[in-house]
Amino acid sequence: MIPEPARQELIAAAGPHNYLDQPEDLMLYEYDGSVDRGRPDLVVFPRSTTDVVNFVRIANRYGIPVIGRGAGTGLSGGAIPVEGGLMLAFARMNRILAIDLENERAVVEPGVVNLDVTLAVQDRNYFFAPDPSSQKACTIGGNVAENAGGPHTLAYGVTTNHVLGLEAVLPDGTVFTAGGMEPDLPGYDLTGFFTGSEGTLALVTKIVLRLMRKSEHVKTLLAIYNSAEDAGETVAEITARAITPVAVEMLDGVMLRMVEEATHAGYPLDAAAVLLIELEGLHEAVEEQVEQVREACLACRAREVRVAQTAEERELLWKGRKNAFGAVGRVSPTYYVQDGVVPRTEIAPTLRYIREVSEKYGLTISNIFHAGDGNMHPIILFDPRRPGDLEKARAAGADILRRCIAAGGTITGEHGVGLEKKDLTPELFSAETIDLLRALKLLFDPACRFNPGKLLPTGRGCVEIPRSAPAPA
């Protein structure tokens, strides 16, 4: 609980209509896209860096936990308040502050929606590369916190590859900047360090983004398979031919049927899997690669390879992929999305293992993922009203992530660690590495008040966060 004096100070600092403190309102902020829950004691809506500083300083004086939140689309529990406390919701810091196309830069506040950056520059043939499936809703601040990716990560990289600089507020209220308008500044890479830190070190209030020019030519292919393993093997075959598509997405048969019924994108209902492959570049080079990719797919027993002939056909194929999670929601009361990474050569064996996990727990698991870089998203369907289902879903997800580690991969590609996976990190990192990460956390946040209970495993290194503290003398 927030002590009453602190509550009154925070409300006064927020001003009318810039805070929520009633239970029926706070309920809306007790969840994100994960299966975890936790309710804040107070939600405030900063409109400027100054507002953030004022809120943080008050929280610091009273020892109150602080949680930042974008759109709440995260899938690892990163925005879940595990200790109650103060939530800063950045929806009203939503301005694009500057666009400099000559230098291919944009400066934005954290509440700007991802897709809005591209919409602001697309008529001049530019775009913002990271494209999570939730890009119509997710915010740049959340993307930075989780180091989000998307289907086109294969060619363009994740968020950290497109962030040049940050302004952020530390737990004591200090404002600092990292990076700037130019890449590769001398010194430590603080911009990269804070990107993906999940709000555990600082609250980002301004971001300098890299913009990219659209390619001359784009082609999108749909390869159809009678075996999911054959689709998985195709990814390695394409790579072996020295071709790097901008995207290679895979949907298995279970997912195909859910997506097609919801979006009517033209996906085959009788297939075991499809690959959605996109190529970009100069016209002649792309057309040559189309034929090479087609050959690679057929060599791995694709029964058919379709090439989108118009922009409308291409957009329809991507509509199915981008709306996949919503399609699952039409079929299952809820679902649990995992995010693990394996080497491309391990995709097919991992798919077989996921099928075994599905049988072991008696739960349907569909697969949709960024096959080009081995970033797998098994979606575990379950009914939380059925006793034991949630526990089985969590156990199934943990089994899959352990398989990813054993295969030489990792426990997250773009969704972050959050609350969900923190206790798996000791299976990925050595004790010495964990100690170093804890030391870095304590350097910036010695009281562990910023987004407590996330990213690092529960254990020594952080003092217990009090739910309330007496006002300073």
Model confidence pLDDT, tens digit, residues 321-369? 999 988 998 899 999 999 999 999 999 999 999 999 999 999 999 999 9
Query: Quick check: 460 pLDDT over 60?
Result: no
Chain-centre distance for alpha carbon 439: 25
Q: Which residues pair with 115 in a beta bridge?
A: none
CA distance 296 to 229: 14
Q: Which residues pair with 335 in a beta bridge?
A: 381
The per-residue pLDDT for 169 is: 98
CATH of the domain at 149: 3.30.465.10
pLDDT bin (cut points 50, 70, 90) of residue 468 is very low
Q: What are the residue ranges of helices labelled H in 216-305?
A: 228-240, 253-263, 283-299
Mean pLDDT of the chain: 94
Q: Are residues 100 and 199 in the same domain?
A: yes
pLDDT per residue as tens digits for the range 213-266: 999 999 999 999 999 999 999 999 999 999 999 999 999 999 999 999 999 999
Structure tokens at 362: 């008696």
The per-residue pLDDT for 417 is: 97
> What is the DSSP annotation of 388-449?
THHHHHHHHHHHHHHHHHHTT-BS-SSS--TTTSGGGHHHHS-HHHHHHHHHHHHHH-TT--
> Which residues 6+ apart lie within 8 Å of 13 measured at CB?
44, 51, 54, 55, 58
Sign of CA dihedral 328, 329, 334, 335: positive
> Considering the domain boundaries, does residue 282 fall inside one?
yes
CATH of the domain at 242: 3.30.70.2190
CA distance 448 to 462: 6
Last residue of a domain, one of 325, 341, 376: 325
Kindly state the percentage of the chain with pLDDT values over 70: 97
Nearest to 222 by CA among 323, 294, 150, 295: 294
Across 381-392, average pLDDT: 96
Q: 151: helix, coil or strand?
A: coil
The per-residue pLDDT for 459 is: 59
Q: Are residues 300 and 347 in the same domain?
A: no
Q: Are residues 102 and 206 in the same domain?
A: yes
What values do phi and psi take at 190, rounded to 5? -70, -30
Last residue of a domain, one of 325, 343, 358: 325
Sign of CA dihedral 151, 154, 160, 165: negative
The per-residue pLDDT for 1 is: 86
CA distance 422 to 416: 10
> Which residues 6+ apart lie within 8 Å of 50 measured at CB?
none
Q: Are residues 263 and 309 in the same domain?
A: yes
Q: Are residues 349 and 286 in the same domain?
A: no
The total number of structural domains that make up the chain: 3
Structure tokens at 457: 């495993």
Q: Are residues 209 and 309 in the same domain?
A: no
pLDDT per residue as tens digits for the range 155-180: 999 999 999 999 999 999 999 999 98
Q: Are residues 208 and 104 in the same domain?
A: yes
Q: Are residues 107 and 180 in the same domain?
A: yes
> Considering the domain boundaries, does residue 184 fall inside one?
yes
Last residue of a domain, one of 279, 298, 325: 325
pLDDT per residue as tens digits for the range 60-80: 999 999 999 999 999 999 999
> Considering the domain boundaries, does residue 368 fall inside one?
yes
> Considering the domain boundaries, does residue 179 fall inside one?
yes
* Vertex 160 angle, CA 158 and 165, to 5°: 150
CA distance 450 to 26: 19
Q: Are residues 108 and 207 in the same domain?
A: yes
Nearest to 32 by CA among 71, 63, 86: 71
> Considering the domain boundaries, does residue 193 fall inside one?
yes
Kindly state the percentage of the chain with pLDDT values over 90: 93
Structure tokens at 15: 């001003």
> What is the DSSP annotation of 156-221?
H--GGGGEEEEEEE-TTS-EEEEE-SSSS-SS--HHHHHTTSTTSS-EEEEEEEE-EEPPSEEEEE
- Is residue 250 within 8 A of residue 332, CB to CB? The reply is no
Sign of CA dihedral 350, 351, 354, 355: negative
Q: Are residues 268 and 319 in the same domain?
A: yes
Radius of gyration of the chain from its Cα atoms, rounded to whole angstroms: 23
Region for residue 9 given its phi and psi (left: phi exceeds 0; alpha: psi -120 to 50; beta: otherwise)? alpha
Structure tokens at 184: 């590769």
> Considering the domain boundaries, does residue 417 fall inside one?
no
pLDDT per residue as tens digits for the range 96-107: 999 999 999 999
> Considering the domain boundaries, does residue 343 fall inside one?
yes
The per-residue pLDDT for 472 is: 41
Region for residue 280 given its phi and psi (left: phi exceeds 0; alpha: psi -120 to 50; beta: otherwise)? beta
Across 298-326, average pLDDT: 94
Q: Looking up tokens 């890479």, which residue turns up?
A: 189
Query: Quick check: 470 pLDDT over 90?
Result: no
What values do phi and psi take at 85, rounded to 5? 90, -160
DSSP class of residue 113 equals B
> 88-92 long-range contacts, Cβ below 8 Å, gap at least 24?
88/43, 88/44, 88/45, 88/46, 88/52, 88/55, 88/203, 89/29, 89/43, 89/44, 89/45, 90/45, 90/46, 90/139, 90/141, 91/45, 91/139, 92/18, 92/45, 92/46, 92/47
The per-residue pLDDT for 427 is: 96
> Considering the domain boundaries, does residue 420 fall inside one?
no
Q: Are residues 261 and 353 in the same domain?
A: no
For residue 391, with 0-12 CB atoms within 10 Å meaning exposed, 13-18 middle and 19 or more buried, which class applies? exposed
- Is residue 246 within 8 A of residue 238, CB to CB? The reply is no
Across 402-418, average pLDDT: 97
Q: Are residues 155 and 198 in the same domain?
A: yes
Range of the domain at 401: 332-406
CATH of the domain at 385: 3.30.70
* Vertex 221 angle, CA 217 and 225, to 5°: 165
Across 13-36, average pLDDT: 96
